[in-house]
Structures are given as C-alpha cells and as structure tokens.
Amino acid sequence: MNPFPVILSAPSGGGKTTIARALLAQRSDLGYSVSCTTRAPRPAERDGRDYYFLSRREFIERQQRGEFAESAEVHGNLYGTLQSEVNRVLRAGQHVMMDIDVQGALQFRRAFPQSVTIFVLPPSGEVLLQRLRERDTESGSQVVARLQSALQELQAVDEYQYVVVNDDLDSAVKLVSSIIDAEVASRDRVANLRLQVTQLIERLELEIENHSH
C-alpha cells in the first residue's frame, strides 16, 4: 500500500476535527500529524499530543528554514504542519489524517500532491451558527472573525475532490472512511496496472529485439 495524506477541511464548527478523531480511533492505518501553533493551549490540550505550542519567534524561525508543508496566520495566531511530521507517519505505512483549513490545504497539496482532499459541510447555516455560538470560550469579535473565515472557506469548496455533509456524525465518519478505502483500491489498482504495462512493454521489446537479429 502506498500511504497518502487525507485532508479534511471545513468552516469552523463544521465538525472536521470530530470526524478526524473518530477515524483515528477506528482505523489503524491512519496516523496523525501533530501541527504547530502559537496560540495558547485550551483546557485539556497537551503539547505534543494536540499541538506543538511554539513561541511566535520559534515558529517564524522554523518557517524561514522551510520546515513547514503549510503555515498560515488564522485569527492572529500562526499554525503550521511540519514536513518531518507528515513524512514520519507516511514512513510508518499510515495515511496521514490532516485537519487543516482551506488556505493551509492549498499549500499542503503543493508539498504532498498525492493528498486526498475532503470538504466537510454542515447540514445548514443555522446548524453552523449554532455550533459557533456554543463556543462560549470566544469573544464576540472572535466569532465574527470565524464567520468571515467560514464564508471564505465555503467559497473554496470546488477545489476539493470530495464533499461530505455532516448532518449525522456516524454517517459522515463512515462516508469519509469509504472515500479512503476507495482511494486505496484505486491507487493500488493503478499501481498494479502500471506494473503490468511495464512488464508488457519489456516483453514486447524483447520480442522485437529477437526478431531483429
């Protein structure tokens, strides 16, 4: 099997993180690339498990050294994915579960063009607004910023290979899982076909050479 990154993007409150965690718990062939951020840890978050929490200076230094597959400033904080983290998971023979926003996904695909991209939609605008309002840890200005980001992210949906509506969590998780399975089967089939074609070409070339003498 040739492992590949799986990118989940969604407007804030779309449920991509919940889906990613469910899949990681269910599938042994998925691994998680821990991202870096300059924001403060939320309650129950741990460094090295949820994020690598870096100072702004350290983040920028690593950014300048070209260590990130993608990085962006979101709501005043820097976020990024280390190429070394992604390669660590791929070398272990696992697909890399990526939970990143639209602008990060665009950069990431340049570094890892074999990525599978999935956009997670909330079932309705009202549900999205409700999920955002439930984040009572955020100020009014932060909610407005997230609404503006959600609007921009929804406009990028056509750039994704797949779209999943998260109207029921279990169904959404099963659908994303089936997409991964389909991509594995498709890529393995293509790899086998390429090998078969290569072997046919070699056989024909040998036959041509034999007839040429």
Query: Residue 2 in contact with residue 191, Cβ under 8 Å?
Result: yes
pLDDT digits (tens, 9 = 90+) for 181-196: 999 988 877 777 777 7
Q: Which CATH superfamily is domain 5-173 in?
A: P-loop containing nucleotide triphosphate hydrolases (3.40.50.300)
Q: Which residues contact 11 (CB under 8 A, 6 or more apart)?
A: 122, 128, 149, 150, 153, 154
d(CA 87, CA 110): 15
pLDDT digits (tens, 9 = 90+) for 106-141: 999 999 999 999 999 887 777 777 766 766 555 667
d(CA 69, CA 53): 17
pLDDT digits (tens, 9 = 90+) for 64-123: 999 999 998 878 999 999 999 999 999 999 999 998 888 889 999 999 999 999 999 887
Locate the domains of the chain by residue range. Answer: 5-173
